[in-house]
């Protein structure tokens, strides 16, 4: 056993040594403005925001996949109209980001970002391509397992949770300090999506299921504010 969430400072994850706060954080109560708006609705979305394979003139290269699941509260109830955002590397393991120096090709047909609102049952669904593994300079020959970053908003922009989804059977888990910084082995397993044969689309796409649970015994692993937005 151990904690569900990764500690702010984890020795094997090199950049946490510098960015982890040295003092305890202070809680600043949110103001009414922060709690009441802005709110997103269906009209704020483009029709293809959830489909990362149709945001350009042609389709991106790679293995097309459906990624779906539900956002649930601590009692297992669906969280509806929650903004779910994803960002990821392309099939070659390259982000469309100025600081990404991995010598893998950018794909002109793939931006790597999507978003959607959960429906009345708390469901979300993205269509994308499976991201490639990529090297990073944390330690000699360090490679991130294939993953998709997720952000979920609650009732206000001050309520944001960030996590990563992995793929089953990835051979890179054992050497990845981000994956292994989660103390509880059971919580670590919950970061791995489930191959979902029922959700595959014949002749078209494989599928993975990944639920995001905001609290309780099956709570998802969430990253700290300090590490969100990080492309690692």
Catalytically active residues are: 95, 134, 144, 147, 149
Q: Which of 67, 43, 40 is nearest to 159 (CA)?
A: 40
Alpha-carbon distance of 210 to 64, in angstroms, equals 16
Pairing mode, strands 83-87 and 147-153: antiparallel
Alpha helix ranges (H) inside the chain: 15-19, 32-36, 177-180, 185-189
- Which residue spans within the chain are E strands per DSSP? 64-72, 83-87, 113-117, 123-129, 134-136, 142-144, 147-153, 160-166, 194-195, 206-209, 212-213
- Collapsing DSSP states into helix, strand and coil, what is residue 203? coil
Taking residue 206's Cβ as centre, other Cβ atoms within 10 Å add up to 15
Q: Cβ atoms within 10 A of the Cβ of 153, count?
A: 21
């Amino acid at each position: 056993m151990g904690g569900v969430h990764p500690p702010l400072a984890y020795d094997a994850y090199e950049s946490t040594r510098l960015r982890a706060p040295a003092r305890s954080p202070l809680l600043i109560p949110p103001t009414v403005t922060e709690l009441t708006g802005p709110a997103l609705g269906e009209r704020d979305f483009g029709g293809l925001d959830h489909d990362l394979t149709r945001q350009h003139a042609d389709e991106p290269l790679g293995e097309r996949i459906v990624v779906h699941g539900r956002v649930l509260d601590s009692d297992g109830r669906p969280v509806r109209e929650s903004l779910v955002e994803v960002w990821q590397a392309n099939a070659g393991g390259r982000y469309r980001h100025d600081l990404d120096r991995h010598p893998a090709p950018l794909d002109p047909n793939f931006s790597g970002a999507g978003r959607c609102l959960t429906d009345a049952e708390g469901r979300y669904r993205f269509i994308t391509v499976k991201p490639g593994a990529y090297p990073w300079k944390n330690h000699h020959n360090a490679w991130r397992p294939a993953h998709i970053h997720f952000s979920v908003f609650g009732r206000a922009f001050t309520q944001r949770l960030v996590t990563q989804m992995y793929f089953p059977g990835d051979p890179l888990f054992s050497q990845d300090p981000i994956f292994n910084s989660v103390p509880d082995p059971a919580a670590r397993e919950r970061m791995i999506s489930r191959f979902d044969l029922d959700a595959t689309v014949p002749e078209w796409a494989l599928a993975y299921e990944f639920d995001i649970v905001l609290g309780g015994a099956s709570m998802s692993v969430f990253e700290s504010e300090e590490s969100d937005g990080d492309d690692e």
